[in-house]
Amino acid sequence: MTHRAPLLALIALLVFAAPVRADGTLAYILQWGSHGSSAGQFISNYGVATDAVGNVYVADQDNHRIQKFTKDGAFILSWGSYGGGPGEFYHEVGVAVSPSGHVYTVEPALHRVQKFTSGGAFVAMWGDSGGADGQFSFPIGIVCDHLGNVYVADTDNHRIQKFDANGTFMTKWGVRGTGNGELNFPWALACDGSYIYVAEAFNHRISKFTTDGTFVTLWGAMGSNPGDFNVPTGVAVDVLGTVYVADSGNHRIEHFTGAGVFLGTWGSLGSGDGQFNHPYALCTGPGNVLYVSDFENSRIEKFGDLPMPVAHTSWGGLKNRYR
C-alpha cells in the first residue's frame, strides 16, 4: 500500500496536468467567423474582449456593431447600427469589459467612448475631437482595470487618458516621442491590475506604466527577430502576468514576462489553423485562453493550454482608412 500512493499520484499528474506546449506557446483550439454581415460573420473585425464568465465581444467595425459570443464562438446577440447617435457606431475599433460587466467601445473617427450593458443597452458616452482633458484625436485602444476605471489610448494625441467608470476624467500621461514614457501612436492597452501595457504601433515596442502613469520599462524594436515587432497593434496580459502581443506586420503572436523577457512566438501568414493575416487585436479569457482577432481572415481564433495526452504504456505550441 505504501508504494501504491506515489504511483497513483504519478498517474493523476499525467492524466490531469495541463501545461502549455513544449515551446511555451499556446495551442490552437478553434475558430469562428467568415466575411459577411450575417450573425457570426465579420467585416473588418478589430477589438475583442471577454467578460468574467468567458463571453466574447467583438468590434465588427465595418458592420457597425458589437457581436457577443459564448467562449466557444456560439452567437448570442449583437447591437448597433451605422450612425453617430447614442448606441450607433461609425467604425468602432476598441472594445473592453469592466468587472461590473459593462461594455465600453471606442470610435476613432467620432473621437468618443460609449458605454453599454452586457446586453447592448446604451448607458452613456463621452468625448469629442480635441486635445483638452476628456477630448480625443483618433482614439483606438481601451481597457478597464479591476476597479472599473477606463483607460483610453488617445492615439493621435500620443497619450493615455484615465477615466472613472462614468467617464469623469482622472489623469493623463504621454507626449509624442521615443524616450522613456513618451509615446508614438499608442494603439492598444492591457491591464494586470497594477500596470498598464501600451502597444506603440510606430515605436514598435511595448511600454509599461503604473495605473497612474509612472513609467516602468519598455521593450521591443522594429524587426522580425524574436522579441522584435512590426507595427504591434494588440496587447493582452493573463492572470500569471504573461504579456501577449499581436505583432500584426509579422503575422504572429509573441509572448513575454511582465518585465519584457521574450518567452516564445507562434503564427505565420496564411489562413490555416493557427495562422494569421494581420492579427490586429487579442485578449485573454477565463481558463487561460487567448482570443485573436484575425483581421484579414474575418475570424476569431482561440488558443489555450491543452491537457497532456495520456501515455499508452505498460507500467513496469489603419489608420489610413480613416483619413
Global pTM? 0.89
| pLDDT for res 2 | 46
Is residue 128's pLDDT more than 60?
yes
CA dihedral (152, 93, 319, 200) positive or negative? positive
Is 33 in contact with 298 (CB distance < 8 Å)? yes
| pLDDT for res 10 | 37
| pLDDT for res 24 | 64
Is residue 113's pLDDT more than 70?
yes
| pLDDT for res 305 | 78
What span, in angstroms and rounded, lies between the C-alpha atoms of 125 and 110? 11
CA of 53: how far to CAs of 19, 163, 236, 249, 303, in Å?
22, 25, 18, 32, 17
And the C-alpha cell for 106?
Answer: 471606442
| pLDDT for res 317 | 31
Residue 257: strand, helix, or coil: coil
Average pLDDT over residues 155-173: 98
Is residue 191's pLDDT more than 50?
yes
**Helix boundaries (H) for the chain:** 4-16
Is residue 41's pLDDT more than 80?
yes
**How many percent of the chain have pLDDT more than 70?**
87
